[in-house]
Structures are given as C-alpha cells and as structure tokens.
Amino acid sequence: MPTIIDGKVVSQKIKEQIKIDTQKLFNEKGIKPGLALLLVGNNSASEIYVKMKDKTCNELGFHSIIERMDEDSSEEAVINMINKWNEDPQIHGILVQLPLPKQINEFRVLNTISPNKDVDAFHPANVGKIMIGLPGFVPCTPAGIMELFEHYNIDLIGKHAVVIGRSNIVGKPIANLMLQKNKNANATVTICHSATKDISKYTKKADIIIAAIGVPNFVNGNMVKDGVVVIDVGINRIDDPTSTKGYKIVGDVEYDSVAPKASAITPVPGGVGPMTIAVLMKNTYNSAIKKYEI
C-alpha cells in the first residue's frame, strides 16, 4: 500500500509553530500579523474557503478582517478597498479570493495589491521572483506541495514530474518550483493541459504527477506507472444521493484505481487543501516580520 501523504498532520505542525512565533512577536513587539480577506460575489466555494482562512487566523492569534462586496461591485470599488489596505499598517497580507465576477479585470485587481502584502504571490513582481528563483512570497498551494515533498522525504532531483493543468494559481507555479536548481527540486518537468494530445502518454512515464486540472477523477490507474507519487490538487463537488448533503468531494485522481500502483498519494480531502492555508499563514507572518519586503 502507498504512503498516504497527510496534509492535515503536516499543516497542523506548521500552524503550531506559527502560533508560538506569533505569540512571541506580540509579547516582544506588540505586533499581530494582520490579514485582510476580500470576497466579491456569491460563489459558495469561495465563501467556505474565506471563512476557513479567517478561522485559522483567529486560531493562530492573527488580526483578520473579511470584507464582502456584492456580485455587481465595480472594479473601481474593489481597487479602492485594496488601496485602503495597502496603506493600513495593521494589515500585512491582502487576499482577494478568486474567481472574481466577470465585470472585474482580475489582472488589474491583483496588480493593485502591494507586492509587500501579496501573501498569495499573484502580483507580477512576485511571480517574476519565483520564475528566477529569488526569495519572496510563495504561492500557497504550490509551496504547500513542496512542503509535503520535504516532509515525506520525496526526492525530486532528476525525477520526471508531470503537471496536469497550467493555471496561474497552481500549474505554472508548481512547475516552476519543481524546476528550480536546488536540493529540494531539480526535477525534469512536463506540463500537460487541455490542448495536450494523449495525456496518458506523459503520465505513464511520470515519476511524480501533480493533478490540477479541475476534472473529477481525471487520472485513473491505467494512466500511471507503478511506484508513482501522486499529488491531487482537485477539489470537485459531485452528486452523491447516498450522502445527506447530496454531494461529495472528490479530487482529480481516481483514488481507488491509482492508489494500489502509487508509492505515495495525497487523499482528497486532507491532502493538499490544508497545506494551502498553512502556507498562507506563514506568508502573512513573514510579511508581518518584513521578511519579504521588496
């Protein structure tokens, strides 16, 4: 049976350390890391994620605020809110939950966030730093995956890693991090996407698969080789009449057919998901102590 990569346990360890550091920071300097969360519109999944982020802030002793704006809010109103936080010394991290409603230009909004408070690492200045391997804010989900590799001693050097999905939030940055020339990375990376012909041709050769395509159960046992390490980033809701909620959460990987062939695999839920929030907290703490000031 494969090693089950338990993101709950690893994220808990990270959060416990941040809680200790936060208490110390407050005792010594009177500073509380502060995170501002902006939720625009009525996306029910975004509502859950933002609440979880806020709850974690409270658990760790951070200052946090959630600002909710209507679905039909203007881009200008969103930008004004961000500019207010850019100037607020109690706010060290600004997070605009994506996706945004259609009338709002995502790039302009993310570009407004001060790069020094960009705890998601979505600002072009931070994306550029990641690209060339400079220290700075790291995107939460990809950095969470790298922490899992480190914790479970999964060596990437010279391995063939196949990323499925090319989003700016996961696919592109995780490919970049695995590619860096350092002892925790140094993989050979292939990125597959919606226009890739015969994805299984690539996944069958992969030592490591990062599934971040947003399609339930996309990767199945016939698409992978024995001993593969599988990281499932998918969080998909599918109908389930046997559940009281009427749905269940599944990943992008068909766990039951892939797990018997894998050497290590993340479950969904409880794999990558909790790591995203742990890294967000780490980034916010690091911003409060100005570790990543540009």
Q: Which residues bind ligand GUN (CB under 6 A)?
A: 95-98, 120, 140-141, 169, 276
State the DSSP H helix or E strand holding residue 7, giving kind and residue range, or none if neither. helix 7-29
Least Å distance, CB 223 to ligand GUN, is: 25
Contact 57, 282 (CB under 8 A): no
Least Å distance, CB 38 to ligand GUN, is: 9
Q: Cβ closer to ligand GUN: 116 or 276? A: 276
Least Å distance, CB 96 to ligand GUN, is: 6
> Annotated catalytic, 12?
no
Least Å distance, CB 133 to ligand GUN, is: 21
Q: What are phi and psi of 161, to 5 degrees?
A: -105, 130
Q: What are phi and psi of 51, to 5 degrees?
A: -65, -40
Q: Cβ closer to ligand GUN: 120 or 232? A: 120
Least Å distance, CB 137 to ligand GUN, is: 12
Contact 213, 252 (CB under 8 A): yes
> Annotated catalytic, 120?
yes
Whole-angstrom Cα distance, residue 114 to residue 123? 8
Three-state SS string across 194-209, please?
A: CCCCCHHHHHCCCCEE
Contact 180, 161 (CB under 8 A): no
Among the listed residues 53, 129, 172, 282, the single catalytic one is 53
Q: Cβ closer to ligand GUN: 96 or 265? A: 96
Contact 56, 85 (CB under 8 A): no
Q: Cβ closer to ligand GUN: 94 or 219? A: 94
Among the listed residues 97, 118, 129, 232, the single catalytic one is 97
Q: Cβ closer to ligand GUN: 95 or 163? A: 95
User: Quick count: other Cβ atoms within 10 Å of Cβ 101?
Assistant: 16
Contact 133, 180 (CB under 8 A): yes
Which of 169, 133, 183, 163 lies closest to 229, judged by CA?
163
Q: Cβ closer to ligand GUN: 223 or 274? A: 274
CB nearest ligand GUN: which residue?
Answer: 98
Least Å distance, CB 98 to ligand GUN, is: 4
Among the listed residues 21, 118, 120, 207, the single catalytic one is 120
Burial of 283 (0-12, 13-18, 19+ CB in 10 A): buried
> Annotated catalytic, 240?
no
Whole-angstrom Cα distance, residue 121 to residue 173? 10
Residue type at position 177: L
Contact 9, 152 (CB under 8 A): no
Residues noted as catalytic: 53, 97, 120
